[in-house]
Structure 1
């Protein structure tokens, strides 16, 4: 390894200290996962990450996160979880959201695999997600808007709970046009923390959508898995620069969206993503924002950051 390459690796090591992965797919899951939540927590702790947020399409991992915190106080990395409003938790189920909040959940994801948009997209993509519960029972689309395009009352009830509890609201796999309407209603109802989920894939978002939703005050989350060479790549590396520049590093957060069997390890995905951002010309200060401080802010976990991770 040359001296310059060694310096780059040292910079990446330093940026991983205090980093946060807010969207990672570890097990257990009905989909094949390469590692479980505890295994990732151990690996993340060794790398110096401040926190991870586990995401499963079918259950809130808040109980698992609580068990890891109780029985593994030696871990440096805080483990949080989230809830995704798909069929298995009852869709737009206020009871499930309130329970997840009471157990320390950090993110409420609007429907993903059960979203109307996702179900349409899967048909055109001729592909079935490995975590789909349609293998068990046909999906019942979880709708966030009424037929006239207005935000449904049950969606509004979820937004009120998110506002009251201070959790972050992520758009999931709903269409970008739906995200505009739900996020506008969310802000009217007092939701402070908004995350626009991977506009680069599935949700049919333009760069103007990215610019506009970021201008609303939302953070735009990009899935590094979709830009890195491997089984999950759907975009080119240069596309990431277009996405980041549309919102600006101040409104961008990067996640691995990894954990799938056969894909790169989530920590290695973060390493490669940081290296990609360096190659694209972003400063270490801007990368720190995108992998750490912006995420800490939208999740309300700034206290988790080590002193070395605050700039």
Structure 2
């Protein structure tokens, strides 16, 4: 064995160890109306083989809690526990507290504010060149889901926040604009919401480093989608140096690294997580710091041990 091979083997073993007990809280496995490279069950098998503790499936168009429950019930030997949540887009009626209550009652762990139907996302689409891969002649285009009326949060948003507070489900910002996130999260804190996730500040939502620091100071975890950073991802729009700047900004203790992968034609979720860990090792972060970002923090915010 050459010295290079020995170093590579040592790093592989180190990455393996860091990922023991990992949690991917934002992964796009299928089935879905959008093309997916892997389904929820097969991903759970892959992640179990890698020692992951949990995964949270995210679909822009449906609550995956029933699929997650069936997998947990029928495959109890899987090391990786499968959870899901709900995204408040048009398909579920937008800001729908009833749907969130149902999701929480079925052990859903995250509710995402609008993504593809966020007014901010629809504005972003106009200049991004991005098109939803599920767009067909049979599906009408997304319509904006508003959060405010006359400059104030709509009553159903306040109801939603109360549901989050009462059930303990985590609230993620989705694709709303960072300026909206600040208002929603501030009100959420007032109403007793304890678990907040700021979704990929690096893309779509218009956040600066100062914005990100401010939202983390509210007690939110800052979740970075490795799909936007790692080499080999077809979604890469940011550099390694930008990822390090974001992590250093709030510290490993407030940072979550998720794959945001599962789509066709790009890296697998596991490979994305492995490359994310390797990138963090190259920055000089300790094994414990990286483990917090890929495991402990996400486990805390989804209430894995509750």
After TM superposition, the score normalised by the length of structure 1 is 0.95
> Within the alignment, does 1:297 sit opposite 2:281 as a pair?
no
Superposed counterparts of 1:206-217, under 5 Å:
206-217=208-219
Aligned with 1:145 (options 124, 144, 148): 148
| Residue-by-residue CA offset, 1:48-77 (whole Å, 9 max, x unaligned) | 100000000000100000100111111010
Residue 264 of structure 2 corresponds to which residue in structure 1? 261
Residue 120 of structure 1 corresponds to which residue in structure 2? 123
Asked whether the 8 Å contact 2:135–2:141 carries over to 1, the reply is no
Residue 193 of structure 2 corresponds to which residue in structure 1? 191
> Displacement of 1:232 after TM fit?
0.9
> Displacement of 1:132 after TM fit?
5.0
Equivalent residue of 1:52, what SS?
A: strand
> Within the alignment, does 1:53 sit opposite 2:23 as a pair?
no
> Displacement of 1:140 after TM fit?
2.0
> Displacement of 1:134 after TM fit?
8.4
> 1: CA distance between counterparts of 2:134 and 2:84?
18
Residue 42 of structure 2 corresponds to which residue in structure 1? 39
Residue 108 of structure 1 corresponds to which residue in structure 2? 111
> 2: CA distance between counterparts of 1:182 and 1:14?
37
Equivalent residue of 1:263, what SS?
A: coil
> 2: CA distance between counterparts of 1:131 and 1:99?
26
Residue 307 of structure 1 corresponds to which residue in structure 2? none
Question: Which ranges of structure 2 fall in alignment gaps of 5 or more residues?
Answer: none
Residue 155 of structure 1 corresponds to which residue in structure 2? 157
| Residue-by-residue CA offset, 1:208-245 (whole Å, 9 max, x unaligned) | 01111111110000000100122110101111001111
Asked whether the 8 Å contact 1:57–1:131 carries over to 2, the reply is no
Asked whether the 8 Å contact 1:195–1:220 carries over to 2, the reply is yes
> Displacement of 1:127 after TM fit?
2.0
Aligned residues: 302
Superposed counterparts of 1:245-260, under 5 Å:
245-260=248-263
> Displacement of 1:300 after TM fit?
1.0
> Within the alignment, does 1:182 sit opposite 2:184 as a pair?
yes
> Displacement of 1:44 after TM fit?
0.5
> Within the alignment, does 1:218 sit opposite 2:220 as a pair?
yes
Residue 27 of structure 2 corresponds to which residue in structure 1? 24
> Displacement of 1:139 after TM fit?
2.1
> 1: CA distance between counterparts of 2:165 and 2:149?
21
RMSD across aligned C-alpha pairs, in angstroms? 1.2
> Within the alignment, does 1:201 sit opposite 2:203 as a pair?
yes
Going from structure 1 to structure 2, the CA distance change for 1:102 and 1:198 (only over 3 Å counts) comes to same
Equivalent residue of 1:91, what SS?
A: coil
